Chain A
Amino acid sequence: MTTDLNKRALVVGAGLAGMEGALKIGSAGYEVYLVEKEDTMGGVTNKLYCSFPRWENPRQLLDDRITQINNTEEIRVMTGTVIKSARRDGDRFVVDLQKAGNQTEQVAVDAVVLATGFELMDASVYGEYGYGIYPNVLNSLEFEARLKEWSSGSRVDTPKSVAFFKCVGSRDRSKGYPYCSKICCMYTAKQAGLTRELLPETKAYVFYMDYRAAGKEYEEFVRSVIETKHVRYVRGRPAKVLPENGRLLVRAEDTLMGVPIEVEVDMVVLASAAVPRKETKALAEMFGAKTDQYGFLENESFNPCQTGDRVFFAGACGFAIETAGAQTQGAAAAAEVVALFNRAGQEAC
């Protein structure tokens, strides 16, 4: 079996899924363009202080992947680059890239992996929570930045009490999205647990409808946050956040006791719904891929990695996924590309 090593792949997005995909395609000996909109690789994982369920610092994982990518000569990394347009030309895609400094470049590739990732929904539609109105109402990524600050020793304006709201925008047919954003139960437990670790004098409350811990070591993780880090879990979706005496008053019902309650806190963290980035839909159309009504990439029947002819996808652009899952999906998409190129190579003989 010979392989046609002239085949080239394009990976759009250098988050964990995209990086993994590029690595696996590159180590199979094929050339890869790894295109990333931001100036650095790493995607959302760059913003994380800690990952679940092992309380690890994702920086080590990212640095390892980035080093390996830099050491793989088949991978050409293009940061600060976006895709302006693309068209089919037989079995190839001709793609126009716009790089930093307004330079353009045209490339031809034989397969595409979309790994554009996710972002958090804008929670300002929830006026009742005061996002964008009260200064101490944050979404989970903004809160992660505060965790980083506190971990580096800053103790300016630390809250005496923090409330975490889950399902903000998820499981909501009225103002949000009906689906479950999958990762929030786990990362909220992580953020609440870390708050108690970094600021032992601060109280933490998590307001939940359910907690979904379906994964290896996940249930143990959440229980440890409740039992050893002493975070109070209150079952009830909060109804309102009101300003009171310079603090924030949270009104909810403790549904397990059947009593309406009020809690005074200093900071509210909203686990907003995970939505695909806006570019995903446009990119899908450019490459002939399918998206669903929310903009997530749709897969073809029987193949969870493929979303169009010679187009594959991986990571949170298909649906919210945790770090390990993103890596797995990146590798799976890469396997599809390599198999495609290998078969083409065979036919060429």
Chain B
Amino acid sequence: MNKERVVAPEKLFPEVPESIFLFRSCTGSMEYPGTENAIKEVMKILGINIVMDPDQTCCSGYLLTCSAYKPELSLAVTARNLAIVEKKNLDTYMFCNGCYGYNRELAHIMHEHPDYKQMANDVIAKQGYHYEGKTEIHHVQELWYRLKDQIAAKVVQPLNGLRVAVHYGCHYLAQQYNILDDGGYPTFHEEIIGVLGGTTVFYKERQMCCGYSVGRGFTHKETTVQPHLYKKFKSAKEAGVELMTTCCPGCNVGLDREQPNLTERYEEEFNIPVIDISQLIGLAFGVPLAKLGFEANTVKLDRVLEKLGIGKGDSHDH
């Protein structure tokens, strides 16, 4: 059997880090800035220091998969970004499945093909960087799972049994080794939602793609992406889902922004708000609504907030 695919969170994080490098996500800082903010607030409450770097650029993964970029560029960009993290002697944490998946895949390719690593290093050396390959690439959701018990202890606003469904997103589950689940039957988000007091809902198309990455939403929206999303939302609606969580701002865009178009095309209401799991944890921690940024969502969270007894514009400090 091959090297280990699925590992326990204690193996991924033998010790909880004191400081982490948070990789800025383009979609996460522009389309849904509330996600990045929510992560910072939650980490503050959990006592973990966040480091970011303005020199870090886009991971270039999205347009690579749209075939607009060739691998040479993305390898160099990845090497440069990870070299910046390495200089700080930290491990890098992404909060976007896209950044996570592309960086990890490209780092893995450089690891397996030393000539590509050499090529990337030759390019970035001209800017004064060197990529060794020693920084580990994690996703923030893995840290949430590792800190499940600490999260449970800090909940001040339990979710009152809110029916929450999870969308894991493809780029996390598709990594082939050293991850929390390889797409078989993931349950780690459900466990986190459980400790927050929500009711997890398993719906049949839980592991279906959001259709956002690779740009098929631009090229094949009506032909493929919309029928595909329709199947997913139909399955979620039948299961009685009130809220959907993601761990990728890209998936958030794909699932949130497209719903009104689906309603128009298929003449069916879905009204399932989609937020990041960090924002849900933030809600449960009592982080003021203004800091969670639900303004950015297309499908509004009014019904959800009402059910949780949180008024709009309330900044409760419990």
Contact = CB atoms under 8 A, between A and B. Distances in A.
A264 to B, nearest CB: 12
A244 interface: yes
Interface residues of B, number: 13
B293 interface: no
Interface residues on A, range: 10 to 19
Interface of A: 125-130, 133, 173-177, 242-244, 249
A133 B1 contact: no
B1 A127 contact: no
Given A127-B184, A244-B204, 17 more contacts: A125-B6, A127-B183, A127-B185, A127-B186, A129-B184, A133-B185, A173-B2, A174-B5, A174-B176, A175-B1, A175-B2, A176-B1, A177-B1, A242-B204, A243-B202, A243-B204, A249-B204
B256 interface: no
Contact of A125 (B176, B184, B186, B202): B184
B181 interface: yes
A94 B184 CA distance: 48
Interface in B159-188: 176, 181-186
19 contacts: A125-B184, A126-B184, A127-B181, A127-B182, A127-B183, A127-B186, A128-B185, A129-B184, A130-B185, A173-B2, A174-B2, A174-B5, A175-B2, A177-B1, A242-B204, A243-B202, A243-B204, A244-B204, A249-B204
Contacts of B5: 174-175
Nearest to A294: B1
Interface of B: 1-2, 5-6, 176, 181-186, 202, 204
Contacts of B181: 127
A126 B5 CA distance: 12
Nearest to B206: A242
B11 to A, nearest CB: 16
A128 B183 contact: yes
A128 B204 contact: no
Name which of A127, A173, A176, A249 has the most chain B CB atoms within 10 A of its CB. Answer: A127
A126 B183 CA distance: 9
Contacts of B1: 175-177
Nearest to B204: A242
